[in-house]
């Protein structure tokens, strides 16, 4: 049996000292604003996993009204979601992700981010792919008011 899941997330950008993306902190002159560490890529991956398994979404598991979730590491939320997915009998097939960001260039960091995601998921990096696109200078992405990410994931069960 196979199930596919889709995750999407957006965060507002403001002047700052770098971005959490896929569990890595990248040097940048802006930061993403959010209740947690605002790692837009890990949030999209978490929602894709939960969606594929039919286990809710990141906002249900970690309500932003709960003070316990303030500043919570996105890597920890992903780990908890993955535990639920595994407990339901699912194994990871593969993930394919897109980061929507005018800057910074993601390509030079792609290998490091893939390795980090694979480690967080306890899987081989060959199962994790990542791409990035600019906003072509227009709209909230292109004018660097926002960063977004999308992820599709395939889960398998015997
Ligand atoms: O050329 P096209 O309009 O299809 O895409 P683009 O948004 O101009 O991005 C061109 C290439 O730059 C992408 O395919 C990525 O390889 C790279 N890129 C990146 O490394 N980091 C970004 N934040 C955006 C794009
Ligand atoms: Zn988010």
Query: Which listed CATH number (3.30.300.30, 3.30.1330.50, 3.30.70.920, 1.10.3720.10) goes with 2-156?
Result: 3.30.1330.50
Bridge partners for 100 per DSSP:
133, 148
Q: Which atom of ligand 1 is nearest to the CA of 102?
A: 23
Divide the 158 residues of the chain into consecutive groups of 10 and give the mean pLDDT of each group. 98 97 97 92 98 96 86 92 98 98 98 98 98 98 98 96
Query: Which ligand lies nearest the alpha carbon of 40?
Result: 2
Cβ neighbors of 50 (< 8 A, separation 6 or more) are 5, 7, 56, 57, 58, 61, 81, 84, 85
CA–centroid distance, residue 76 to ligand 1 (Å): 29
Among protein residues, the one with the nearest Cα to ligand 1's atom 1 is 133
CB atoms within 10 A of CB 101: 28
Cα Rg, the chain, nearest whole Å: 15
Domain ranges in the chain?
Answer: 2-156
What pLDDT score was predicted for residue 147?
98
Residues with CB under 6 A from ligand 1: 101, 105-107, 132-134
């Amino acid at each position: 049996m196979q199930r596919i899941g889709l995750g999407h997330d957006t965060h507002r950008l403001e002047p700052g000292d770098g971005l959490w993306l896929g569990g890595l902190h990248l040097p940048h002159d802006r930061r993403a604003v959010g209740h947690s560490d605002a790692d837009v890529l890990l949030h999209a991956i978490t929602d894709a996993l939960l969606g594929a398994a039919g286990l809710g979404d990141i906002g249900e598991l970690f309500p932003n009204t709960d003070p316990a979730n303030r500043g919570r590491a996105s890597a920890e939320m992903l780990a908890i979601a993955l535990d639920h997915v595994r407990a339901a009998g699912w194994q990871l097939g593969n993930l394919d992700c897109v980061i929507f960001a005018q800057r910074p260039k993601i390509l030079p960091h792609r290998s490091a981010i893939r390795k980090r995601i694979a480690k967080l998921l306890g899987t081989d990096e060959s199962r994790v792919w990542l791409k990035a696109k600019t906003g072509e200078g227009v709209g909230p992405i292109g004018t660097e008011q926002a960063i977004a990410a999308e992820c599709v994931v395939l889960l398998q069960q015997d």
